A = this chain, B = another copy of it.
Amino acid sequence: MATVPLLDYDDMAPEARAVIDDIKAARGVDDVNNFWKALAHQPDNLRRIWEGLQEVMAPGALDTVTKEMLYLAVSVANNCEYCAHSHTASARAKGMTDEQYGELLAIVAMASQTNALANALRVPVDDGFLR
């Protein structure tokens, strides 16, 4: 249960419906995920998030599956349950293999461990890291 009702397409404001139409077309799907149905209460947020995602996740100096894996790693570190599920699914859909997922998990775990140690010990940053 979300903190707001998930909106049906027919109950959305026209500005929200236009964004949902755009998501469906861009992804070639008949329906959008729950995230968008919750966000559709605020057409401005909805549009801004969708436009931002398209810009950020378009292939560039990094390819699409690398971008999806980075998105997933951050979502996991930020402990977002919905995002862990949705971005594991989308990284797989973009080509992440089981082996790559396993290595990603090992990196998330290892980094969380050394992050905790460096934060606990308050290790001063080496001069060499500051150019």
Contacts and interface: CB of A to CB of B under 8 A. Distances in A.
Contact of A34 (B49, B52, B101, B124): B124
Q: Which one of A33, A71, A86, A109 has the greatest number of beta carbons of chain B within 10 Å?
A: A109
A18 interface: no
A128 to B, nearest CB: 7
Interface in A79-93: 79-89
Given A117-B39, A120-B3, A129-B89, A77 B80 contact: no
A67 interface: yes
A49 B52 CA distance: 9
A1 interface: yes
A3 B84 contact: yes
Interface string A74-114: 11111111111111110000000111111111111111111
Interface majority SS (helix, strand, loop, mixed), chain A: helix
Give the 10 A-B CB pairs with smallest separation, nearest first: A77-B77, A61-B99, A112-B116, A42-B102, A80-B115, A74-B111, A82-B118, A1-B130, A85-B129, A113-B113
Given A2-B123, A34-B125, 8 more contacts: A1-B125, A2-B121, A33-B129, A48-B106, A57-B107, A70-B104, A71-B107, A109-B117
